[in-house]
């Protein structure tokens, strides 16, 4: 149903507050030198044996597929696990070397692939970029998903029954399916080859950018481009970037503080950059998600900057709660059931008073 003044009250804009994105590496003191995963892998294989633990699990799949979430959800390793090694198996040579290490150490090798739709995986990495400052390029996702089936077929031909394979198919997140055996490699081929996946993800990123769902920084990292020179942009007077620079500088001065939880002081309020292209929220489709930074709040309106050159203006009456300048938010239209009930009552009886949904979902 198109948005008009008559039916606009049937929707409310749900607010999700996002933590600020820290693009600079965090400088935290480390209590001990970090060791490479390959070193830890070798050390664990050489460690003392534990009765009943005879299997090394290789957890693989696209970035954003939900591999880590699957492990953390269970809260513990499989009972027969020596360790779970999370890494990519799309390179046959390096994968063969690791599996051979496991077999030479007298353990069993078991690969678990988490198989997601590549568009969903990309969306998850973009969300992670906003929340943690790290994402994944579409080339990386296409390479891993597109070339994994061939690598697994080669591994099967080399190791045969000495190598086990499970595929956790999460393309339908509500109904995940666990499949056993190398015959299920055909399921992994369902997302297409490298070139096909690359084209799909390229289109996905372009669409997300066009509709204001991602900003310029997220767009560039998804394409594998170098980050913009934020210091140069600061000096050019782009206030949003100055705000990000202040947040990073403040974090470093405070010993690695990574999240800003309090509203910014008046000295940190961001002004509206000149020449900003502003889109009215009333012109957006109901399925559009707006993600960006609040740069202006007045008595009646809220302006959310979605990229260096674009912003979306909302009426305060649309929002489900309050926002403040400098806040990173995600806004999406949700049906206002109370308003719908009132609208139906108006058709039968008399006009009622529209009510707004309340609440801000902090993350």
The parent domain of residue 288 ranges over 8-19+262-362
Is 142 found in the same domain as 88? yes
Whether 347 has a pLDDT exceeding 60, the answer reads no
240 domain residue, yes or no: no
Query: Which element (helix H / strand E) includes 254?
Result: none
Residues 182, 324, single domain; the answer is: no
Tokens of 314: 């909302």
CB 329 within 8 A of CB 292: yes
Q: What is the pLDDT of residue 38?
A: 75
| Separation in Å, CA 33 to CA 30, 36, 54, 228, 296 | 7, 10, 29, 31, 45
Same-domain pairing of 294 and 338:
yes
Alpha-carbon Rg for the chain, nearest whole angstrom, is 25
Q: What is the pLDDT of residue 271?
A: 55
Distances (CA, A) of 17 to 261, 293, 330, 334: 10, 10, 6, 16
Q: Is residue 326 assigned to a domain? A: yes
CATH label of the domain that carries residue 50: 3.40.50.300
Pick the more confident residue, 312 or 74: 312
pLDDT band at 120 (very low <50, low <70, confident <90, very high): very high
pLDDT reading at 248 higher than 50: no
Confirm whether 314 is domain-assigned: yes
Q: How far apart are CA 38 and CA 3, in angstroms?
A: 56
Task: Dig out the tokens for 116 from the structure.
Answer: 């997601």
Q: For residue range 20-40, what is the model confidence (pLDDT) as tens digits?
A: 433 333 334 444 455 567 788
Whether residues 296 and 339 share a domain: the answer is yes
Residue 227 inside a domain? The answer is no
283 and 191 fall within a common domain: no
pLDDT given at position 272: 67
Residues 67, 13 within the same domain? no
The structural domain count of the chain equals: 2
Query: pLDDT, tens digit, for every residue of 270-308?
Result: 456 667 788 888 887 776 778 888 888 888 888 888 877
Residues 68 and 143 in one domain: yes
Return the DSSP state at 63: T
Please give the average per-residue pLDDT across 309-338, as a whole number: 76
The answer to whether 281 and 314 have CB atoms below 8 angstroms apart is yes
**What pLDDT is recorded for position 348?**
38
Res. 163 pLDDT band, cuts 50 70 90: very high
- What are 87's two structure tokens? 């890494």
The answer to the question of residue 234 being in a domain is no
Domain final residue, candidates 222, 243, 277: 222
- Residues 321-349, mean pLDDT to the nearest whole number: 60
243 in any annotated domain: no
Can you tell me the mean pLDDT for 90-112?
95
Q: What is the mean pLDDT of residues 182-192?
A: 94
Q: What single DSSP character describes residue 91?
A: S
Cβ count within 10 A of residue 301: 15
pLDDT, residue 361, reads 35
Asked if residue 117 belongs to a domain, the reply is yes
Q: Where are the alpha helices (DSSP H) in the chain?
A: 37-46, 67-74, 92-104, 118-132, 138-159, 185-188, 194-210, 216-222, 230-236, 239-253, 337-348
Neighbours of 327 (CB within 10 A): 22
Residue 264 pLDDT more than 90?
no
Highest mean pLDDT among 5-9, 150-154, 202-206, 256-260: 150-154
Q: Are residues 13 and 48 in the same domain?
A: no
Last residue of a domain, one of 170, 197, 222: 222
Q: Indicate whether 47 and 190 sit together in one domain.
A: yes
Scan for tokens 């070139």, then name that residue.
195
Give 246 or 281, the one with higher predicted confidence.
Answer: 281
Three-state DSSP class for 66?
Answer: coil
pLDDT-derived band of residue 342, with 50, 70 and 90 as boundaries?
A: very low
Q: Which residues contact 177 (CB under 8 A, 6 or more apart)?
A: 168, 169
* Tens digits of residue pLDDT in 61-85: 998 888 877 766 666 778 899 988 8
| Mean pLDDT confidence for 91-114 | 95
Q: Could you tell me if 268 and 295 lie in one domain?
A: yes
Whole-Å CA distances, 76 to 19, 73, 80, 178 = 29, 8, 11, 18
Sign of the CA dihedral with 112 first, then 115, 116, and 119 last: positive
Among 4-13, 204-213, 292-301, 349-358, name the one with the lowest average pLDDT: 349-358
The CA distances from residue 242 to 124, 132, 225, 226, 255, in Å, are 27, 19, 21, 19, 20
Q: Are residues 340 and 204 in the same domain?
A: no
Say if residues 131 and 363 touch (Cβ distance below 8 Å). Answer: yes
Pairing relation of β-strands 310-315 and 301-305? antiparallel
Average confidence (pLDDT) over 243-248:
34
277 and 212 in a single domain? The answer is no
Q: Which residues contact 213 (CB under 8 A, 6 or more apart)?
A: 288, 289, 290, 291, 306
């Amino acid at each position: 149903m198109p948005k008009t003044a008559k039916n606009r009250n049937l929707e409310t804009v749900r607010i999700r507050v996002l933590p600020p994105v820290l693009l600079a590496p965090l400088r935290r003191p480390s209590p001990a030198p970090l060791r490479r995963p390959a070193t830890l892998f070798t050390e664990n294989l050489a460690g003392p044996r534990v009765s009943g633990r005879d299997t090394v699990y290789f957890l693989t799949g696209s970035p954003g597929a939900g591999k880590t979430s699957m492990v953390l959800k269970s809260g513990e390793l499989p009972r027969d696990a020596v360790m779970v090694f999370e890494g990519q198996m799309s390179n046959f040579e390096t994968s063969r070397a690791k599996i051979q290490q496991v077999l030479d150490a007298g353990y069993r090798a078991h690969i678990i692939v988490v198989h997601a739709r590549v568009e969903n995986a990309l969306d998850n990495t973009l969300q992670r970029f906003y929340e943690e400052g790290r994402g994944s390029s579409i080339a990386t996702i296409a390479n891993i998903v597109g070339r994994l089936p061939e690598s697994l077929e080669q591994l099967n031909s080399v190791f045969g029954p000495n190598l086990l394979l499970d595929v956790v198919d999460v393309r339908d997140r509500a109904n995940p399916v666990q499949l056993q055996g190398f015959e299920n490699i055909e399921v992994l081929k369902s997302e297409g080859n490298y070139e096909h996946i690359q084209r799909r993800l390229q289109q996905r990123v372009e669409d997300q950018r066009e509709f204001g769902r991602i900003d310029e920084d997220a767009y560039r990292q998804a394409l594998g481009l170098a980050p913009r020179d934020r210091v140069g942009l600061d000096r050019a007077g782009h206030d949003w970037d100055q705000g990000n620079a202040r947040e990073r500088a403040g974090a470093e001065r405070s010993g690695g503080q990574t999240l800003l939880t309090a509203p910014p002081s008046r000295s940190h309020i961001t002004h509206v950059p000149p020449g900003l292209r502003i889109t009215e929220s009333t012109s957006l489709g109901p399925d559009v998600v707006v993600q960006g930074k609040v740069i202006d709040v007045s008595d009646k309106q809220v302006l959310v900057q979605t990229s260096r050159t674009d912003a979306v203006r909302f009426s305060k009456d649309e929002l489900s709660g309050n926002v403040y300048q400098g806040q990173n938010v995600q806004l999406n239209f949700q049906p206002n059931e109370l308003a719908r009930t009132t609208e139906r009552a108006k058709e039968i009886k008399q006009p009622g008073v529209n009510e707004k949904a309340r609440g801000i979902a902090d993350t």
